[in-house]
Amino acid sequence: MYEHGSRTLSEEEVIRFAREWDPQRYHADPEAARHTPFGGLIASGWQSCCVAMRLMCDAYLLESSCVGSPGIDEIRFLKPVRPGDTLRFRSTVLASEPSRSRPERGTVTFRWELLNQDDEVALSMVGRQLYLRRVAN
């Protein structure tokens, strides 16, 4: 398990992202959001995914031998992310295996999480990344 970084989302960032990408009332309109089951503004789950991706890049991805991803197997929005929340990234390796057809590559399956300032998991994703690997001679 590996934890890295933090990012605090402002109300302005939440609204700006929502108006561009996910303009539902509980993301984009503070007044209307008060009258939803959330009782106030919350960040889009897609914005949470973007924050996780950025923190993942900063943590390790840009310095790794990653050559892409075949996809995300699971995304769960477990707690609303609210303006002012400070999120940090946690990565846990669930499995790794060499490619059967391409010995110079391997796949790592991860659980990626965003935790808020109260150590609650707000976002959980399970996905795989492809990595170049050293081949034994």
User: Is a pLDDT exceeding 70 seen at residue 137?
Assistant: no
What pTM was computed for the model? Answer: 0.93
Q: Is 91 helix (H, G, I), strand (E, B) or coil?
A: strand
pLDDT, one tens digit per residue, over 86-110 is: 999 999 999 999 999 998 999 999 9
Q: Which CATH superfamily does the domain covering 2-9+44-132 fall into?
A: Hotdog Thioesterase (3.10.129.10)
Would you list the domain boundaries of the chain? 2-9+44-132
Run of H or E residues at 89:
strand 86-98
Sequence-ordered list of residues with C-beta below 8 angstroms from that of 8, at least 6 positions apart, any chain:
84, 85, 86, 87
Specify whether the CB–CB gap between 11 and 41 falls below 8 A: yes
User: Is a pLDDT exceeding 80 seen at residue 19?
Assistant: yes
Two tokens at 84? 């002012």
